Amino acid sequence: MLKYSLAMGIRVVCIVLCMVTPGWWLLIPAAGAVFLPYFAVVIANNVGSGASSRVRRPGALVRRDPGDRP
């Protein structure tokens, strides 16, 4: 959550810089304001994707045919 909040704080700074930056330099803070939320969400959602959170197929499952119903 801290990384996301920091990224959104930087986005606010980019938006303010868009109001005072002249000429072609405006594209730099505008790109930050547009693309930073996407990367912030990707980073925030990627927190729990370590090696320990992999889904493993349980070995105790046995496949059944649909015709095997009692």
Q: Higher-confidence residue: 66 or 34?
A: 34
Average pLDDT of the chain? 81
Q: Please tell me the distance from the alpha carbon of residue 41 to that of residue 5, in angstroms, as a whole number.
A: 10
Residues 27-54, mean pLDDT to the nearest whole number: 80
The 10 Å CB-count burial string (b at 16+, else e) for 26-64 is: eeebeebbeebeeebeeeeeeeeeeeeeeeeeeeeeeee
- What pLDDT is attached to residue 58? 67
CA-derived radius of gyration, the chain: 23
Distance of CA 40 to the CA centre of its chain: 5
